[in-house]
Amino acid sequence: MSAKRIGELRQKITSENLDGMIVTNLDHIRYLTGFTGSAGLLIVKTKGASFFTDFRYKDQAAKQVKGAKVHMVKGEPIGQLKEFPELNQKNMRCGFDGDHLTVGQRNRIRHALPDILLTNAGSVLGELGWVKDKTEITLIEKAVEISDIAFERILNIITPGVRENEVRAELEYQMMMLGSEKPAFETIVASGWRSALPHGVASTKKIEQGDLITFDFGATYRGYVSDMTRTVVLGKANAKQKKVYNLVLRAQKAGIRKVKAGVDGKAVDDVCRKIITRAGHGDNFGHGTGHGIGYFVHVGPRVSPLSNDKLKAGNVITIEPGVYLSGWGGVRIEDDVVVTRTGGRVLNKAPKNLLEL
């Protein structure tokens, strides 16, 4: 699989009139080579690929890295590139991902390889992995299953007085016990007025009777992630909570029905946004409807008002509309959906009816 992925990157390098690509982001490195360590650098050229790491990962790299020649260096890999003169080819056009390379790192590369021509070519890496094969979708399904089960397991600990960060700890523990390598991103547990914060990561706030509680979290399984959101109520939901919840659920279901290969991401967003806007809450839905997931929690295609991305069979995307009312609370519902030629296949099994705990 690694050889295939590096081959795909090599094709993109050639199409961009580059001679090579320097990859520093560890998630990209893992996707391309299989290496899971915390220090490494990958250089892919039109012919050949080289991976650099230090002694700590000698055995690990030998076992994991596929599709690239492994080199052991002393210290930070970037600083040791000068020891490999074959890389310092006059006027070699070498791309890098400006979103994942610091100014300091770029300067050190220039010092180590002064004859190459560095060019920001993040788009070369940007679309890698957007379309998943059957194996990748199976791994994402497992990550989703872990999230679903973990969510079910923590519902019974949500009682008046428990703190958001205590619930977060239990949720992440359950995911780990079910096989997750790590949380896919910083877990959100936002209750009461804090549920109006779209990215309200867990705090020390105590959950109170009558609170809306939004959970946004994901598992990581063999490098692939899930990303799901559920909103519940502690106790009986009042009329306003039910009304807002049902509005968001209706929008989310409509968005899922719109998913199909060939449809623009903007069109899916538009379906959800129109429903929420017609109900008078357009200004309270301020983010995109979804995004791609896979080896990373935020990849393309985007599902937003600004998206020009066209959905393709094999994409896995989120559909996650929300309504947020400052000082009152918010509701967001999110599923992971596989794009097929005939529609969207929802991976999540966790219930979406409003749970009253």
Answer whether residue 276 is part of any domain: yes
Same domain, 122 and 146: no
Same domain, 112 and 259: no
What pLDDT sits at residue 127? Answer: 80
Same domain, 39 and 111: yes
Answer whether residue 353 is part of any domain: no
Answer whether residue 354 is part of any domain: no
Same domain, 19 and 54: yes
**SS3 (DSSP) at 142:** helix
Same domain, 18 and 79: yes
Alpha-carbon span 290 to 302, nearest angstrom: 6
Same domain, 65 and 146: no
In a 13 Å sphere around the CA of 254, the CA atoms on its Cβ side amount to 18
The model's pTM is 0.91
Answer whether residue 310 is part of any domain: yes
- The total of structural domains in the chain comes to 2
Instruction: Tell which of 63, 91, 126 closes a domain.
Output: 126
Task: Tell me the residue range of the domain where 15 lies.
Answer: 2-126
Q: Of 354, 335, 326, 334, which is closest to residue 197 (Cα–Cα)? A: 326
Q: Which helix (H) or strand (E) holds 152?
A: helix 134-154
Same domain, 301 and 334: yes
Same domain, 94 and 160: no
Answer whether residue 100 is part of any domain: yes
Answer whether residue 355 is part of any domain: no
Answer whether residue 95 is part of any domain: yes
Instruction: Tell which of 61, 91, 126 closes a domain.
Output: 126
Same domain, 165 and 89: no
Full pLDDT tens readout for the chain, 357 residues:
678 899 999 999 999 999 999 999 998 999 999 999 999 999 999 888 999 999 999 999 999 999 999 999 998 888 888 888 888 888 899 999 888 888 999 999 999 899 999 999 888 887 888 999 999 999 999 999 999 999 999 999 999 999 999 999 999 999 999 999 999 999 999 999 999 999 999 999 999 999 999 999 999 999 999 999 999 999 999 999 999 999 999 999 999 999 999 999 999 999 999 999 999 999 999 999 999 999 889 999 999 999 999 999 999 999 999 999 999 999 999 999 999 999 999 999 999 999 999
Instruction: Tell which of 126, 160, 175 closes a domain.
Output: 126
Alpha-carbon span 235 to 356, nearest angstrom: 5
Give CA separation, 122 vs 22, 30, 303, in Å.
10, 17, 20
Answer whether residue 352 is part of any domain: no
Task: Give the domain CATH number at 75.
Answer: 3.40.350.10
Same domain, 58 and 142: no
Same domain, 195 and 274: yes
Task: Give the domain CATH number at 170.
Answer: 3.90.230.10
Same domain, 322 and 258: yes
At 253, list the tokens.
């279901």
